[in-house]
Amino acid sequence: MEHANTTPHIIRLTDISKSFVDGDKQLPVLNQLTLALKQGDTVALTGASGSGKSTLLNIIAGFEYPSQGELQLIGQSTKNWQDKQWSQFRHQQLGMVFQQFNLLTPLNVRDNIRFSLQLNRQKWNDWCDHLVDALGLASLLNREVESLSGGQQQRVAIARALAHQPALLLADEPTGNLDYNASLEVMSLLTSLAKAQQTCVLMVTHSEECAQYMQQRWHLENGAINADYSINHLSQTKGDINHGGQA
């Protein structure tokens, strides 16, 4: 049981292993991986292609199941979660941003942002107005998302991911389709908005510049996390180096 003064973990993975079946062989991807993140923690996850970064995000989102180990989300064990509990977690607690934006077409900007509110029976509120202003979307609300630039589409995706004020944001190479300047702008907006709500962020990236917007750097190697891979935290994010994220 958590002590009253400690913040509960948003994510806690203990000895998680994951293998895929490849013909008649097993392909081990994650190997007794242990990690923990609390409210407000922000982490850049790096690792070679095929090291298992997306697999790890998919396990946390409930799209893949671990072969072994324990996954706790928002202080609860997911061991006995059925589809209903996973849906509730995804609708209420989780925001996701992808490299390909994954916006809903042919909807406009406003309806894309509304989508995550509707899943939670919430109405447009002051936080949505703030998101729209901060992300420079106010004049684009009636535009169909397909007509927007890549940087604009990713800003809509961030607004949609944060509109329902999730506890956790998972981002899989959110700047992978953007040019250098748009990448830095998106990272700056994402980190300041996440900070405003103390949202926990786990972001996969191949970009050194983008990784530096996060408080911590974790490197996935041989199926496990190496948190000492690079002590390269940006002082402008908070300057608060915390390896306590490792359980």
Ligand X SMILES: Nc1ncnc2c1ncn2[C@@H]1O[C@H](COP(=O)(O)OP(=O)(O)OP(=O)(O)O)[C@@H](O)[C@H]1O
Which is closer to ligand X, CB of 143 or CB of 206?
206
| Residue 116 contacts ligand X per CB under 6 A | no
Considering only the stretches 32-40, 43-51, 89-97, 235-243, report the one whose residues sit in contact with ligand X under the rule CB under 6 A: 43-51
Cβ-proximal residues to 211 (8 Å cutoff; 6+ apart), any chain: 44, 46, 205, 217, 230, 232
Closest CA to 101 of 167, 161, 165: 161
Q: Which of 10, 16, 29, 128 binds ligand X (CB under 6 A)?
A: 29
Q: Which of residues 171-200 bind ligand X (CB under 6 A)?
A: none
CB of 170 to ligand X, least distance (A): 12
**Strands annotated E in 74-209:** 76-77, 94-98, 168-172, 200-204
DSSP assigned state of 115: H
| Residue 65 contacts ligand X per CB under 6 A | no
> Are the beta carbons of 62 and 78 closer than 8 angstroms?
yes
> Are the beta carbons of 40 and 200 closer than 8 angstroms?
yes
Closest CA to 35 of 234, 223, 184: 223
Which is closer to ligand X, CB of 20 or CB of 180?
20
d(CA 236, CA 232): 12
| Residue 223 contacts ligand X per CB under 6 A | no
| Residue 76 contacts ligand X per CB under 6 A | no
Can you give the length of the chain in residues? 247
| Residue 47 contacts ligand X per CB under 6 A | yes
Q: Which of 12, 53, 110, 155 binds ligand X (CB under 6 A)?
A: 53
# residues near ligand X by CB under 6 A: 11
Which is closer to ligand X, CB of 54 or CB of 76?
54
| Residue 51 contacts ligand X per CB under 6 A | yes
CB of 180 to ligand X, least distance (A): 20
Phi, psi of 222 (to 5 degrees): 55, 35
Q: Which residues bind ligand X (CB under 6 A)?
A: 20, 27, 29, 47, 49-55
